Amino acid sequence: MLMVGLTGGIGAGKSTVTAVLADAGAVIVDADRIAREVVEPGSPGLAMLVAEFGEDILGPDGALDRAALAAKAFVDAERTAALNAITHPLIGERTAELFGSAPADSVVVHDMPLLVEGGMASGYHLVIVVDTPAEMRLRRLVEQRGMPEEDARARMARQATDEARRAVADVLIDNSGDRQTTIDLTNALIELRLNPFEHNLRTGTPVVGDRTVVPFRPEWAGEAERACARLRHVVGEIATRIDHVGPTAVDGLDAPDVIDLQVTVRDAPAVEAALAKLTGAGYVRDRSSEQPLLHWCDPARPLEVSVVAEDDPEHEFALLMAEVIGADPGARAEYSEILGRANREETRRFERTLCEASRRGR
């Protein structure tokens, strides 16, 4: 099962993307719909809200009057906390129920407007952000939804910034053009990434990256940061640190398009504990490697994840390498040539020799 988080600012046009995903067979878990469902008339959630905030939060038909609830629940932090204490567990339970009922071979898409605000990005295998310029979103809210401009601006201001959403995006769908373009982009994403990713996870098929050197990509740093956050989500406090290492960690260096990450733990038993958690989360162990090494299953983002104990020399070498090569133009040029020959053993010897020399010189 592939877990995908989908988000975007209000008015971005997520509904177009979710419709295409649903038509392709994805299971859509709509956070807004769940939030309404758990407080429907006759539900335990609505009864708890009435007990906390009073009968006057109900409309004439017995349904929740959201404006009346807001007037009481958002007067101060204490009342807001009381609201959240009722609704959040109910929403969480229902969400987990829907996730759990999805078929094992599903692409499950969690349509979550407040994904960024809730710090939830690292809990998904992939995050899709539907991106539309703020002024276009404002125009849609006013012209298509009939929202007063002042209210629309206020709602937009309460959400995460465009920059914050882009920072967590593994996939950015530009929805500023015509609808058909967005549909085509989404269909291509399904065919080329989502479906293969789900298959790889389900079957334990790793994506082993091509070690051909490509021009430096500024995006590597952000991709590594998101991958590190996902690793932290999986291994938790077992890891004492998680770092972006290897050639793509050297700023400005042409390198193979494979992101190397290092999970550092305290000792050998912790190495085994981390490996168990990572393989349980879908990372695939590379049995041909002498060191604990895992690959990921995303066809568009090859990762190599090493797990080392703090007293393992490999730990220090990996951390030193990017620093040393980044600071030495001669070493950078030689390293670039070696990477171009795509000889892993030669590359490792050079890295080790350089780092040992640097360590002796300190």
* 240 is known to lie in a ligand binding site: no
222/189 same-domain check? no
Query: Strand 255-256 and strand 2-8: pairing?
Result: unpaired
155/38 same-domain check? yes
CB 83 within 8 A of CB 69: yes
The answer as to whether 208 is a domain residue is no
* 13 is known to lie in a ligand binding site: yes
- Of 201, 226, 252, the residue at which a domain comes to its end is 201
The answer as to whether 43 is a domain residue is yes
**CATH (domain of 37):** 3.40.50.300
Neighbours of 169 (CB within 10 A): 21
- Give the position of tokens 């390198």: 255
Q: For 140, left (φ over 0), alpha (ψ -120 to 50), or beta?
A: alpha
The answer as to whether 271 is a domain residue is yes
The answer as to whether 172 is a domain residue is yes
**In whole angstroms, what is the distance from residue 92 CA to residue 341 CA?**
51
- Of 165, 181, 201, the residue at which a domain comes to its end is 201
* 16 is known to lie in a ligand binding site: yes
262/114 same-domain check? no
Q: Show the tokens assigned to 50.
A: 């009435």
The answer as to whether 76 is a domain residue is yes
The answer as to whether 207 is a domain residue is no
The pLDDT profile of the chain, 362 residues, written as one tens digit per residue, is 999 999 998 888 899 999 999 999 999 999 999 999 999 999 999 999 999 999 999 999 999 998 888 888 888 889 889 998 999 999 999 999 999 999 999 999 999 988 998 899 999 999 999 998 888 888 888 888 888 888 888 878 888 899 999 999 999 999 988 899 999 999 999 999 999 999 999 999 999 988 889 999 999 999 999 999 999 999 999 999 999 999 999 998 999 999 999 999 999 999 999 999 999 999 999 988 888 999 999 999 999 999 999 988 777 888 888 888 878 888 888 888 888 887 778 888 888 787 777 766 65
Quote the domain boundaries for residue 247.
213-360
91/16 same-domain check? yes
71/164 same-domain check? yes
Q: Can you state the percent helix, strand and coil of the chain, rounding each to 5?
A: 55, 15, 30
92/133 same-domain check? yes
- Of 201, 225, 247, the residue at which a domain comes to its end is 201
* 14 is known to lie in a ligand binding site: yes
* 15 is known to lie in a ligand binding site: yes
51/163 same-domain check? yes
**How far from 172 is each of 14, 44, 258, 300, CA to CA, in Å?**
12, 38, 20, 13
224/183 same-domain check? no
Sign of CA dihedral 94, 99, 100, 102: positive
228/324 same-domain check? yes
Angle, alpha carbons 222-224-226 (nearest 5°): 70
The answer as to whether 36 is a domain residue is yes
158/30 same-domain check? yes
Nearest residue to 239 (alpha-carbon basis) of 289, 307, 304, 313: 307
258/190 same-domain check? no
- Specify the DSSP element, H or E, that contains 260: strand 259-265
**CATH (domain of 236):** 3.30.460.10
Domain count, the chain: 2
173/285 same-domain check? no
